[in-house]
């Protein structure tokens, strides 16, 4: 068994291989090639924290992955305390059950695979001539979405950041050579691609804010009770795509849709077995709750031949 810490995992993480692996993971999941049990979820109301447990195994792989991810926003109040997000992945043999590796990444791998996933969704569903990205949120994932959207959608030439905290939005913008959007309504009206990356429990975006042709990648609703998009926005979208239809209908933005509403999987669109954007005027939404197939893929990238 090997134990790899955050710094070692960062050294091992090849960006190009990671991006390709995450995209392939979506396709494999939609084809039914990955076991994806329901997500385990704990809530710690006294401190506003939560924990997610995701398990995945791709058919034929020698190993499977159990990932534990925690989020305790109250840690932000103590600059010398532990980070807000933490966790680790355990890689086990699919033949004997023995532990092969502990990836104590403190959310590094999750942050990267989530950033890649968001950019893959935007690249797949946004208009080919999209140039303006708006990131709604100021946490770690804001930086990741900017990084990976720029990497995978190189035609983007304007990035704006909006946050409920103007000072935090300014910090994200400064780190990423972006600009601050002082007003969410006008910023949405001008954006071609919007990435929402908050922990909101009440919708921030509604249908009236989104013009035809806009694509939205919603990343924040990864647990019951979280929502960034209003039901009327989802209803107005001509195309809604999920990383996992089952998972997103349980606790993503899609949980607000009626059971008969059409939702297709991102992996199916990538594979060409489901239709993506067909006209420039469509409003499209990608609901990403994060699937264990991504964690399996990113673990394989950093472990290599180990």
CA–CA gap between residue 302 and residue 306 (Å, rounded): 9
User: For residue 299, which phi and psi values (nearest 5 degrees)?
Assistant: -65, -40
- Cα 137 to chain center, whole Å? 13
CA–CA gap between residue 116 and residue 141 (Å, rounded): 10
Helix (H, G, I), strand (E, B) or coil at 119: helix
CA–CA gap between residue 174 and residue 168 (Å, rounded): 10
CA distances from 130 to 1, 125, 179, 219, 239 (A): 46, 10, 17, 19, 17
CA–CA gap between residue 236 and residue 218 (Å, rounded): 15
User: What is the per-residue pLDDT for 272?
Assistant: 98
CA–CA gap between residue 228 and residue 34 (Å, rounded): 28
pLDDT by residue for the chain (306 residues), tens only, comes to 999 999 999 999 999 999 999 999 999 999 999 999 999 999 999 998 999 999 999 999 999 999 999 999 889 888 888 988 999 999 999 999 999 999 999 999 999 999 999 999 999 999 999 999 999 999 999 999 999 999 999 999 999 999 999 999 999 999 999 999 999 999 999 999 999 999 899 999 999 999 999 999 999 998 888 999 999 999 999 999 999 999 999 999 999 999 999 999 999 999 999 999 999 999 999 999 999 999 999 999 999 977
CA–CA gap between residue 264 and residue 306 (Å, rounded): 36
Instruction: Say how many CA atoms lie within 13 Å of 191 toward its Cβ.
Output: 30
* H-helix or E-strand spanning residue 154: none
User: What is the per-residue pLDDT for 77?
Assistant: 86
* Structural domains of the chain sorted by starting position, each given as residue range(s) with its CATH number in brackets: 2-109+293-303 (3.30.1780.10), 114-291 (3.40.50.720)
CA distances from 266 to 49, 84, 104, 185, 275 (A): 29, 29, 29, 28, 10
Give one word for 149, left, alpha or beta, with left for phi > 0 and alpha for psi -120 to 50: alpha
CA–CA gap between residue 192 and residue 284 (Å, rounded): 11
pTM of the model: 0.95
CA–CA gap between residue 114 and residue 14 (Å, rounded): 15
Is 177 exposed, middle or buried (CB count within 10 Å of its CB: 0-12, 13-18, 19+)?
A: exposed
Residues whose CB falls within 8 Å of the CB of residue 117, separated by 6 or more in sequence, listed in order: 22, 26, 219, 243, 288, 290, 294
Question: Which residues are paired to 42 by β-bridges?
Answer: 51
Look up residue 37 and give its DSSP letter. Answer: P
């Amino acid at each position: 068994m090997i134990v790899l810490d955050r710094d070692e995992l960062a050294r091992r993480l090849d960006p190009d291989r990671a991006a390709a692996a995450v995209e392939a993971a979506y396709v494999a999941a939609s084809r039914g090639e990955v076991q994806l049990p329901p997500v385990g979820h704990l809530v710690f109301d006294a401190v506003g924290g939560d924990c997610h447990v995701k398990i995945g195994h791709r058919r034929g792989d020698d190993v499977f992955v159990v990932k534990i991810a925690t989020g305790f926003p109250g840690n932000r109040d103590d600059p010398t305390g532990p980070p807000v997000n933490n966790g680790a992945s355990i890689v086990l043999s699919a033949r004997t059950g023995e532990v092969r590796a502990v990836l104590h990444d403190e959310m590094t791998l999750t942050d990267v695979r989530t950033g890649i996933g968001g950019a893959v969704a935007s690249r797949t569903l946004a208009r080919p001539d999209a140039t303006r990205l708006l990131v709604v949120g100021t946490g770690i994932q804001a930086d990741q979405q900017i990084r990976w959207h720029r990497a995978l959608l190189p035609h983007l030439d304007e990035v704006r950041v909006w946050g409920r905290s103007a000072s935090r939005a300014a910090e994200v913008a400064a780190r990423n050579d972006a600009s601050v959007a002082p007003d969410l309504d006008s910023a949405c009206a001008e954006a071609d691609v919007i990435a929402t990356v908050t922990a909101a429990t009440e919708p921030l975006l509604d249908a009236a804010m989104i013009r035809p042709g806009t694509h939205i990648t919603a990343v924040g609703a990864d647990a019951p009770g979280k929502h960034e998009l209003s039901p009327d926005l989802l209803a107005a979208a001509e195309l809604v795509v999920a990383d996992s239809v089952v998972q997103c209908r349980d606790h993503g933005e899609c949980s607000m849709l009626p059971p008969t509403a059409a939702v297709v999987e991102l992996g199916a669109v990538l594979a060409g077995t489901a239709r993506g954007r067909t006209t420039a005027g469509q409003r499209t939404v990608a609901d990403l709750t994060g699937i264990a197939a991504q964690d399996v893929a990113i673990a394989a990238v950093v472990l290599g031949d180990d």
